[in-house]
Structure 1
């Protein structure tokens, strides 16, 4: 894990990357391996070797092997090798291939046969000490053509072994350089040229509307993030990307609120969001209540557990927290565009700091890194759209993560169902409470967010590997699978 980038660089990860559109049930075990398979395929194509391949082999190590079947990892690798992208693939195309292989079928990848023996599971292996590693091998007539080892580092991000472990998007394309929350807060105090004119809205939603800034004027965290997005992508692609992210989040919630049945896997977990939502509607409960928010979170994570289309926020296992808080905050106002973007960009800036200085991966640091960081991001975004100062935003994020420290990742049966689904609902309520507490204060607080993030990193480093997405401790071994 990185403790930040070198002096002068930035840690900001584009919202279009941190909130990536993909499929369930896991960003590190499904989305990441699919991207690895696709990257390997493309490298073979670029080298002119793809048509010479007569055999593919895959070795899954660590957590990818320990809980890979339950997370759909073999299915995802196969989909990537076939050329599918997580952002656009039909979820129905991805799942079920390992079941067929396990039953003895032989699958086809561009006329290359793939059998069960071509996928190896090595749960006790750690490539370079990393908990999520996978090796892909292409052969021709028994000789190795190419091989690559990939690390799935959380949130759907991957890194080839030997590449620099850059914490996020760095380089000259970023407009701002900050390594932590303290430096980001300092940027909000930056005094601008009194002749500078910036959009009245944070985003170019209403062309021509302007306001003049003065030396005493402060920029918001969302404005700083927006400037980085524009530097990385340009204004129009950034707006389109943010809107697509929100649209996918919203569709996921609304799809989950109307879906019934039992989730896949041996636990026979019933979907509860739809029935719970109907019950709340019959009682006349407000659509922005904490009860409603809990159903929104359940809806997302039930869709994720079913292998549906979701947005990593910042991971699939924690995908319900942030959309639920945002949906609940804006549903009564019919989802104002600028509010949505402000929320997402504020959350992105905070999430980037978590990713750079600690982790967002359950396999690296336990569930505190997934649900905990999602809760902090949601609390920050909510505080921003409720008019909070940068200091109040930091306070809200700190409160949220502080009360997730030490949370283990112990999925029962290796499935992203128990306790993952309910954890998202609880974390959503915690994010709202953290925001309210912060807004009742003036932003002054004792423990900085940076200290809490470092504490999370240390706690994750000290945590037994058995509690990091391996299903070898905690609820995973104490709950009887029926």
Structure 2
């Protein structure tokens, strides 16, 4: 049984796409490691690298920055720590010098237009997001390896099945493959979903490591919301999409409000301000817009469970912290624990890759994760939390992925606001319902989502060959 940790579902990295940016970035890093293990030589023996991008990685790769991600990965930069303000500088240095410092150690000739090939009409059989890297050198025969970016920043080698980043043998003490397993454990142990997740995580790391790690994830999310709500200008890519979160933030705070200098002060002002139903709805939209505008701008985000859907969970968690009392640090950590388990169920039995399942696999899954987490934190039972996840996904079934110009902007940014609102609504319905009366189970909706994904026309799976991507002329596209 696959072990998926909370730290596998939530990864700190760089926008705009977990499967088209984060995944290829990690694959490039993995390639250098695999080369060394296979040949016994350090990467400094490599004289040339060729990169071949297949399927969806080719079709929307430029809009998602796949080429940028691969170059940075080969150069030894890490998406979790790189200075995102310097991304353009790093890439222009490669273009200007026509060289790449492999692994941060050896400069090799590298012309992105020559050494990165977009194979628009070719696809590898295992997954649409395939890429092959080939290394040449004087001291070894050509070394090549194939990787698949399967969604949420998860990467697998060709003929490899395990996608977890946890180098762990055995299984969790409370193994969970389907929703019924989760239901059984919570009933048997008389505890919440987050408690089961916590006990499983303790088999991998200490209590202190869990707390500090999950808290860091939340603080990264909060920083992303804050910076997105205080940044202005157009997003890159040519659609001339203007950031809207900053203006919404100003209007909601009041035209005379000062610019708050840190996340916590800003959040306290929101929490103690006047907020009726309409204002709360607008704040939730502001939070989600802020994250995904940052994501589209190649800034620091957290996959939740993907980059394209990175705004839903932070928006709902901000709603919880600002408008549902004063949650403790423990509450926030447990919110993310619960959300991660729901995400892992969808990954195991369906997909979190838009290239495999359309946007239902991204926004739909993130909405289900947020709905379950909010339900538990607001006093719902484990079964009510699972019911909320089912409701949220039920109303995302069939959602296509059709980004205009291959950019994670239209309709992706606004879809995060919809996913967040649906999560809150699903939570409210579940809290007032008896799960015993539910006609559709969480496992049932996961199976349905996967069947829907398989039935969906390929052009609606992150190819920019259908839907809005072809019916809205780029010259007049408006967000």
Return the TM-score normalized by structure 1. 0.89
Please state how far the C-alpha of 1:181 moved relative to its aligned partner.
0.6
Please state how far the C-alpha of 1:49 moved relative to its aligned partner.
4.1
* Aligned-residue RMSD, C-alpha: 2.0
Greater CA drift, 277-286 or 372-381: 277-286
Partner of 1:209: none
Note the 1:238-277 alignment, pairs <5 A. 238-277=210-249
Partner of 1:157: 154
* Alpha-carbon distance in structure 1 between the residues aligned to 2:163 and 2:217: 24
Please state how far the C-alpha of 1:129 moved relative to its aligned partner.
4.1
Please state how far the C-alpha of 1:173 moved relative to its aligned partner.
4.5
Contact 2:349 2:450 in 1 (8 A): yes
What's the secondary structure of 2:362's corresponding residue?
helix
* Alpha-carbon distance in structure 2 between the residues aligned to 1:61 and 1:144: 24
What's the secondary structure of 1:189's corresponding residue?
helix
Identify if the C-alpha distance between structure 1 residues 446 and 262 changes in structure 2 by more than 3 Å, giving closer, same or farther: same
Note the 1:209-288 alignment, pairs <5 A. 218-282=190-254, 286=275
Please state how far the C-alpha of 1:93 moved relative to its aligned partner.
3.9
Partner of 2:315: 324
Contact 1:389 1:443 in 2 (8 A): no
* Alpha-carbon distance in structure 1 between the residues aligned to 2:92 and 2:238: 13
Note the 1:64-463 alignment, pairs <5 A. 64-95=57-88, 106-109=98-101, 110-115=106-111, 116-141=113-138, 144-165=141-162, 171-191=169-189, 218-282=190-254, 286=275, 289-332=280-323, 333=325, 335-444=327-436, 445-463=438-456
Contact 2:3 2:171 in 1 (8 A): no
* Alpha-carbon distance in structure 2 between the residues aligned to 1:13 and 1:448: 22
* Alpha-carbon distance in structure 1 between the residues aligned to 2:91 and 2:469: 22
Contact 2:45 2:139 in 1 (8 A): no
* Alpha-carbon distance in structure 1 between the residues aligned to 2:244 and 2:298: 16
What's the secondary structure of 1:476's corresponding residue?
helix
Identify if the C-alpha distance between structure 1 residues 150 and 285 changes in structure 2 by more than 3 Å, giving closer, same or farther: farther
Contact 1:264 1:305 in 2 (8 A): yes
Q: Structure 1, residues 144-201: CA drift from partner, whole Å, max 9, x if none?
A: 431110100100010000212557868425121121111110111115xxxxxxxxxx
In proportion to residue count, which structure has more helix?
Answer: 2
Please state how far the C-alpha of 1:128 moved relative to its aligned partner.
2.0
Q: Structure 1, residues 226-267: CA drift from partner, whole Å, max 9, x if none?
A: 011111122111111100100000000011110111000110
Return the TM-score normalized by structure 2. 0.89
Instruction: Find out whether 1:17 has 2:15 as its counterpart.
Output: no
Identify if the C-alpha distance between structure 1 residues 370 and 408 changes in structure 2 by more than 3 Å, giving closer, same or farther: same
Please state how far the C-alpha of 1:120 moved relative to its aligned partner.
0.5
Could you tell me which of 11, 16, 33 is aligned with 2:24?
33
What's the secondary structure of 2:148's corresponding residue?
strand
* Alpha-carbon distance in structure 1 between the residues aligned to 2:213 and 2:368: 22
What's the secondary structure of 1:111's corresponding residue?
strand
Note the 1:469-480 alignment, pairs <5 A. 469-480=462-473
Q: Structure 1, residues 398-425: CA drift from partner, whole Å, max 9, x if none?
A: 0000000000000001000000000000
Contact 1:248 1:311 in 2 (8 A): yes
Identify if the C-alpha distance between structure 1 residues 121 and 98 changes in structure 2 by more than 3 Å, giving closer, same or farther: farther
Contact 2:393 2:445 in 1 (8 A): yes
Contact 2:16 2:408 in 1 (8 A): yes
What's the secondary structure of 1:231's corresponding residue?
coil
